Amino acid sequence: MLAIIGGTGLTQLDNLEITRRLIVRTPYGEPSQPLIFGKIAGREVIFLARHGNGHTIPPHEVNYRANISALHLQGVTEIAAVATVGGIHTDLAPGVIAMPHQIIDYTHGRKNTYFDGIDLPVKHIDFTEPYCPELRDKWELAAKSIGETLINHGIYAATQGPRLETAAEINRLERDGATMVGMTGMPEAALARELGISYAAICPVANHAAGRGDSLHAIQYEDLVENLNQTMTRVRNIIAELVKRNGFKKNEV
């Protein structure tokens, strides 16, 4: 079963025919909102808005463990995580949609593992490739089939937020090799891996990162939201295509 986690600018899926909403309780607390079960083009999918219904939960307060655990309890095996970013690399201008292949974690103080209790033995997951390469390749082709481009690489810097970065911080992230910056990439990706769920992120670029392009002196939040509205329409179409193809074998599509 495929789940979509929506981020800023994607609190609901317009093209989703909702069949039921389910309140789920997990050992880690409640997810950001009841899980939304529905269909797109007759194919089942679960939707969860990471920041809650009214976009009220900031990145550092999202209960990532409850969100991923709730999806796992419902039999989710694949997650498409939509997470908006600021573009650091010049190729990642507002309006571009990218699927990063790597991540650097700069967050702190977030509950970032299921293996910290006394009841479970310590486990060190392999995280060499944090985003599932098969999903990324599959989704790149799905997007192509409807005339969309998903850039299939990039290094995501996960910052703590909720404030945006300084220009000097962006310079540092760039020296580290990061090409895009967002606040929700971690620990979500690692938790999915801990539970054996295939996970990849779809990252619409909302703005030039601080100190870059038209964000040289400031990031205009209103412009950021306006950019996102346009890009999210394209993201919704791409997601519809992913859901439509999900469950079909390669030679059936």
Under the rule (CB under 6 A), what is the footprint of ligand HPA?
Answer: 84-86, 159, 164-165, 181-183, 206-207, 209
SS3 for 44? strand
**Cβ nearer to ligand HPA, comparing 38 with 185:** 185
**Cβ nearer to ligand HPA, comparing 164 with 243:** 164
**Cβ nearer to ligand HPA, comparing 38 with 59:** 59
Residues in Cβ contact with 120 at an 8 Å cutoff, skipping those fewer than 6 apart: 114
Identify the H or E element spanning 231: helix 221-245
- Please say whether the beta carbons of 246 and 4 come within 8 A: no
**Cβ nearer to ligand HPA, comparing 38 with 94:** 94
Taking the C-alpha atoms of residue 86 and residue 73, their distance in angstroms, rounded to an integer, is: 32
**Cβ nearer to ligand HPA, comparing 66 with 85:** 85
CB of 24 to ligand HPA, least distance (A): 27
CB of 128 to ligand HPA, least distance (A): 25
Beta strands in the chain (DSSP E): 2-6, 17-22, 35-40, 43-49, 78-82, 85-87, 97-98, 102-105, 155-158, 180-182, 198-208
Angle at alpha carbon of residue 233, lines to 80 and 154, rounded to 5°: 45
Specify the amino acid at residue 219.
Answer: I
SS3 for 1? coil
Angle at alpha carbon of residue 249, lines to 248 and 251, rounded to 5°: 120
CB of 82 to ligand HPA, least distance (A): 12
CB of 57 to ligand HPA, least distance (A): 15
**Cβ nearer to ligand HPA, comparing 58 with 247:** 58
- Please say whether the beta carbons of 90 and 252 come within 8 A: no
CB of 60 to ligand HPA, least distance (A): 12
CB of 136 to ligand HPA, least distance (A): 20
**Cβ nearer to ligand HPA, comparing 63 with 159:** 159
CB of 132 to ligand HPA, least distance (A): 22
Beta-strand pair 78-82/43-49: unpaired
